[in-house]
Structure 1
Amino acid sequence: MNTASFPRNHWPLAAEARYLGPHEATAPLDVTVVLRRRGAHPAPATWPPQARPTREAFAAQWGADPADVDTLRGFARQHGLSETGCDPHRRVLHLRGTPQALQQAFGVELGRYQFADGSAEMIGCRQPPNLPASVAPAVIAVLGLDRRPVARPHFRRPSAQPSVTYTPLQLGQLYAFPTTLDGSDQTVAVIELGGGFTQSDFTQYIQSLGIAKTPAVTVVSVAGGSSQPGGDADGEVMLDVEVIGALAPGANLAVYFAPNTDQGFYEAISQAAHDTANHPTVMSISWGGPENSWSAPSLAAMESAMQDAVALGLTITVACGDSGFTDGASDGQPHVDFPASSPYALACGGTRLVANGGTIGSETVWNELASNEGATGGGISTQFALPSWQANAKVPVGAQGFAGRGVPDVAGDADPNTGYQVRVDGQEQVIGGTSAVAPLWAALIARFNQQLGQSLGDPHTAFYTIGTSAFRDITQGNNGKFKATTGWDACTGLGSPNGQALLDALAAMKASGGKH
Structure 2
Amino acid sequence: MTTQLRSIPGSERVMPTGMPLTPAPGDEQIILSVHLRPIAVGTDIVGHAAKPREALRQEREVDHADDIRQVSEFATSNGLTLVQVDAARRLIRLGGSSAALAQAFGASLHRCDEGGCSYRVRTGSLHLPAPLVDRVLAVLGFDTRPAATPKIVPHRVGPVPKGFLPTEVAALYGLAGAKADETCIGIIELGGGYTDADNNAAFAAMGLPVPSIVAVPVDGGRNDPTDASGANGEVALDIQVAGGVAVGAKLAVYFAANTDQGFADAISQAVHDAVNKPSAISISWGSPESRWTGQAIAAMSAAIADAATLGVTVTAASGDALATDGVADGKAHVDYPASDPKVLGCGGTRIKASGGKRTGETVWKSNGGGTGGGVSALFTTPSYQHGIAIPKHATRKGGRGVPDVAGNADPDSGYRIVTGGQVGIIGGTSAVAPFWAAIAAVINASRSAPLGQPHAALYAAPHALHDVTKGDNKSGGIGYSAAAGWDPCTGLGTPTGTMLQSLLSVDATK
Distance in 1, Cα, partners of 2:160 & 2:387: 39
1:454 to 437, 443, 449: 449
User: CA 1:234/1:362 → structure 2, altered by over 3 Å: closer, same or farther?
Assistant: same
Give 1:2-401 correspondences, 5 Å limit: 18-38=19-39, 46=47, 50-62=48-60, 65-114=64-113, 116=115, 118-119=116-117, 121-160=118-157, 161-177=159-175, 179=176, 181-211=178-208, 213-230=209-226, 231=228, 232-368=230-366, 373-401=368-396
**Partner amino acid for 1:61?**
E
State the partner residue of 1:472: 466
Cα distance, 1:277 vs. partner? 0.6
Please say if residues 39 and 61 of structure 1, whose CA atoms lie closer than 8 Å, have aligned partners that are also in contact: no
State the partner residue of 1:4: none
SS of residue paired to 1:401: coil
User: CA 1:157/1:219 → structure 2, altered by over 3 Å: closer, same or farther?
Assistant: same
Distance in 1, Cα, partners of 2:251 & 2:305: 22
1:433 aligns to 2:428 (yes or no): yes
Please say if residues 343 and 384 of structure 1, whose CA atoms lie closer than 8 Å, have aligned partners that are also in contact: yes
**Partner amino acid for 1:477?**
G
**Partner amino acid for 1:472?**
H
Distance in 2, Cα, partners of 1:51 & 1:82: 38
Cα distance, 1:62 vs. partner? 4.4
Distance in 2, Cα, partners of 1:16 & 1:277: 43
Please say if residues 156 and 433 of structure 1, whose CA atoms lie closer than 8 Å, have aligned partners that are also in contact: yes
Distance in 1, Cα, partners of 2:387 & 2:324: 25
Distance in 2, Cα, partners of 1:324 & 1:445: 26
**Partner amino acid for 1:89?**
A
Deviations 1:423-465 (A, max 9, x none): 0011011100000001111111111111223321011111111
SS of residue paired to 2:446: helix
Cα distance, 1:108 vs. partner? 1.2
User: CA 1:95/1:327 → structure 2, altered by over 3 Å: closer, same or farther?
Assistant: same
User: CA 1:65/1:282 → structure 2, altered by over 3 Å: closer, same or farther?
Assistant: same
Distance in 2, Cα, partners of 1:463 & 1:162: 35
Cα distance, 1:15 vs. partner? 5.3
Please say if residues 41 and 305 of structure 2, whose CA atoms lie closer than 8 Å, have aligned partners that are also in contact: no
SS of residue paired to 1:451: coil
**Partner amino acid for 1:486?**
A
Please say if residues 148 and 285 of structure 2, whose CA atoms lie closer than 8 Å, have aligned partners that are also in contact: yes
Distance in 1, Cα, partners of 2:310 & 2:205: 36
Please say if residues 408 and 490 of structure 1, whose CA atoms lie closer than 8 Å, have aligned partners that are also in contact: yes
Please say if residues 120 and 145 of structure 2, whose CA atoms lie closer than 8 Å, have aligned partners that are also in contact: yes
Distance in 2, Cα, partners of 1:249 & 1:180: 7
Distance in 2, Cα, partners of 1:273 & 1:330: 34
State the partner residue of 1:7: none
**Partner amino acid for 2:469?**
T
Cα distance, 1:77 vs. partner? 1.2
**Partner amino acid for 2:427?**
G
Superposed CA RMSD in Å reads 1.8
User: CA 1:378/1:114 → structure 2, altered by over 3 Å: closer, same or farther?
Assistant: farther
**Partner amino acid for 2:262?**
G
**Partner amino acid for 1:78?**
S
Distance in 1, Cα, partners of 2:371 & 2:98: 41
Distance in 1, Cα, partners of 2:45 & 2:397: 24
User: CA 1:304/1:329 → structure 2, altered by over 3 Å: closer, same or farther?
Assistant: same
Please say if residues 318 and 339 of structure 1, whose CA atoms lie closer than 8 Å, have aligned partners that are also in contact: yes
Distance in 2, Cα, partners of 1:349 & 1:15: 31
Cα distance, 1:175 vs. partner? 0.5
User: CA 1:43/1:67 → structure 2, altered by over 3 Å: closer, same or farther?
Assistant: farther
**Partner amino acid for 2:388?**
A
Please say if residues 346 and 410 of structure 1, whose CA atoms lie closer than 8 Å, have aligned partners that are also in contact: yes
User: CA 1:465/1:192 → structure 2, altered by over 3 Å: closer, same or farther?
Assistant: same
Please say if residues 45 and 312 of structure 1, whose CA atoms lie closer than 8 Å, have aligned partners that are also in contact: no
Cα distance, 1:165 vs. partner? 1.0
Please say if residues 419 and 432 of structure 1, whose CA atoms lie closer than 8 Å, have aligned partners that are also in contact: yes
Give structure 1 stretches of 5+ with no counterpart.
1-13, 512-516
Question: Percent same amino acid at aligned positions?
Answer: 42
Deviations 1:176-214 (A, max 9, x none): 11x563111100000000001111210121012111x22
Distance in 2, Cα, partners of 1:44 & 1:386: 11
SS of residue paired to 2:174: coil
Pairs aligned (count): 486
**Partner amino acid for 2:246?**
A
Please say if residues 44 and 342 of structure 2, whose CA atoms lie closer than 8 Å, have aligned partners that are also in contact: no
Question: Which runs of 4 or more aligned residues in structure 1 lie more than 4 Å from their structure 2 counterparts after TM superposition?
Answer: 14-17, 39-46
Deviations 1:320-371 (A, max 9, x none): 1000001111223111000010011100000011112222122100112xxx
Cα distance, 1:420 vs. partner? 0.3
Cα distance, 1:159 vs. partner? 1.0
Distance in 2, Cα, partners of 1:40 & 1:434: 28
Distance in 2, Cα, partners of 1:474 & 1:100: 55
Give structure 2 stretches of 5+ with no counterpart.
1-14
Distance in 1, Cα, partners of 2:30 & 2:187: 27
Cα distance, 1:506 vs. partner? 2.4
**Partner amino acid for 2:221?**
G
Deviations 1:482-509 (A, max 9, x none): 110000000000001112101112234x
Distance in 1, Cα, partners of 2:52 & 2:292: 31
Distance in 2, Cα, partners of 1:40 & 1:409: 22
User: CA 1:52/1:44 → structure 2, altered by over 3 Å: closer, same or farther?
Assistant: farther
Give 1:465-504 correspondences, 5 Å limit: 465-467=460-462, 469-480=463-474, 481-504=479-502
TM value normalised by structure 2: 0.92
Distance in 1, Cα, partners of 2:357 & 2:141: 49
Deviations 1:222-264 (A, max 9, x none): 0011111133110000000001111112100000000001110
Cα distance, 1:42 vs. partner? 11
